[in-house]
């Protein structure tokens, strides 16, 4: 990427990296905060080489893992608490990543991109 003068790096963090996890515990929260620190440090280091570094921070996404580990009652409570009143979809996360890796995102670097239906605004 450095030699080519262009690159896009997208890390996966979480809403837990922007606040605290209500599901994953302190170790998960610490790890996701660390991802955001790495994102910012690399963004600063690599920007002069035409490389952007960002992170997506998904909230609760409607996946098999979530459906297997979170009770339907808790999912319903989360949905009620989100301004958009639903879980996110994997496709919505993928679209954000696709944009961040495109040539149209060249002025975005070091940014945590929240994908959480308004569950965290910060």
Write the pLDDT tens digit of every residue in 86-121: 999 999 999 999 999 999 999 999 999 999 999 999
What's the chain look like in SS3?
A: CCCCCCEEEEEECCHHHCCCCCCCHHHHHHHHHHHHHHHHHHHHHHHHHCEEEEEEEECCECCHHHHHHCCHHHHHHHHHHCCCCCCECHHHHHHHHHHHCCHHHCCCCCCEEEECCCCCCC
Write the pLDDT tens digit of every residue in 45-89: 999 999 999 999 999 999 999 999 999 999 999 999 999 999 999
Residues classed as catalytic: 28
> What is the reported pTM?
0.93
């Amino acid at each position: 990427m450095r030699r080519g003068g262009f690159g896009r790096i997208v890390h996966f963090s979480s809403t837990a990296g922007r606040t605290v996890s209500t599901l994953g515990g302190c170790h998960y929260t610490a790890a996701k905060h660390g991802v955001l620190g790495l994102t910012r440090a690399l963004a600063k280091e690599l920007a002069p080489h035409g490389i952007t570094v960002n992170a997506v921070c998904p909230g609760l996404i409607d996946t098999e893992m979530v459906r297997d580990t979170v009770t339907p009652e808790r999912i319903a409570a989360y949905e009620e608490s989100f301004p958009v009143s639903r879980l996110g979809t994997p496709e919505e996360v993928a679209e954000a990543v696709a944009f961040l890796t495109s040539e149209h995102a060249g002025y975005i670097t070091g940014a945590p991109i929240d994908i959480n239906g308004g569950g965290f605004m910060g």
